Amino acid sequence: MKKLLTTLAAFTALTAAASAADLPRRAPPPVFTPVPVFTWTGFYFGVNAGYGFDASSRSNAATVVNVAPGTAVAAAVPTQIAFGGTDSTDGFTGGGQVGYNYQFTPGSGVVIGIEADAQYVDFGRNRNRYLVTPGFALAPGVQAFSPNGVSSLDFFGTVRGRLGYAFDKALFYGTGGFAYGAGGGREFGLPNSSRDDFRTGWTVGGGVEYALPTDSFLNFFRSSAVTLKVEGLYVNLDQNNRLNGAYATNAAGAVFFAPGYVARRNDTEFAVVRAGLNYKFGSY
């Protein structure tokens, strides 16, 4: 009897061990990996290119100066000089920008920032084109230039605040702030010379910016830190009226003013439409 009980106990133990071996093993819990949320917060820099358009409300009528005999500008006969009616505030623009954004709530939310940019432009190429009465010419050494004081513009830049709203990787924003620029031309310098005239003003505009997917051919960093933007700006630069009404100089340095000409103050006004690429530092 004792031997039978011992055999039954051993068999029960073996059966329990075998059943335990057949039970499914408890797998470790999966590791939770949070999905990263894009944020516009961070410093950035980039490049841009676009086109500028004249945005002034001035009349484009030609300016005609009647030159009286004996002024040492033309021959001793009545002569007319007709200057073109445009200051050619249009052309290519390109440059770079640097800035910082702060987004209050990652994902979607309000974004504030500041941006500074510097741009090369080629405005005012045709500002001094003129025609003289057929059959007559200006006297030797005489240089003619627009009496309207129109300017060229070689470069301009801005320092602007930005305020917008982000829908994940799309940012819509308005912008505005300080503007500056400079350009050369005889109308801004001494007779028979040329120098730059630095001007300041203001700018306002807006745009949209989008963070490129990592597989975009434009995303050369293969990260979500490359953004593409399209924006428009209106720029107004103050312009003094120095030498307004002067239309010619001669080799001796004399300045000739148009009789009865009323000096006008013509601000330089233009609109810029441009596209740009930015690289943003910081987290996803």
199-202 contacts, C-beta under 8 A, 24 or more apart: 199/151, 199/237, 199/238, 199/239, 199/268, 200/237, 200/238, 201/235, 201/236, 201/237, 201/238, 201/267, 201/268, 202/176, 202/177, 202/178, 202/235, 202/236
Average pLDDT value for the chain: 76
Q: For residues 96 and 245, which has the higher predicted lDDT (pLDDT)?
A: 96
In DSSP terms, 7 is beta-bridged to none
Task: Over range 74-79, report the average pLDDT.
Answer: 65
Total domain count, the chain: 1
**Per the domain annotation, does 178 fall within a domain?**
yes
Q: Give me the pLDDT at residue 30, please.
A: 67
**Per the domain annotation, does 17 fall within a domain?**
no
**Per the domain annotation, does 9 fall within a domain?**
no
Let me know: does 66 contact 73? Beta carbons within 8 Å: no
Place of tokens 């676009």: 50
Let me know: does 14 contact 71? Beta carbons within 8 Å: no
Q: What is the CATH number of the domain that holds 246?
A: 2.40.160.20
**Per the domain annotation, does 130 fall within a domain?**
yes
**Per the domain annotation, does 132 fall within a domain?**
yes
Boundaries of domain holding 86: 38-280
Q: In percent, how much of the chain has pLDDT > 70?
A: 63
Let me know: does 97 contact 278? Beta carbons within 8 Å: yes
**Per the domain annotation, does 271 fall within a domain?**
yes
**Per the domain annotation, does 84 fall within a domain?**
yes
Q: In percent, how much of the chain has pLDDT > 90?
A: 32
- pTM for the structure as a whole: 0.71
- Going by the DSSP 8-state scheme, the letter that residue 74 receives in this structure is B
Q: Is the pLDDT of residue 57 over 70?
A: no
- Cα(243)–Cα(188) distance, integer angstroms: 7
**Per the domain annotation, does 30 fall within a domain?**
no
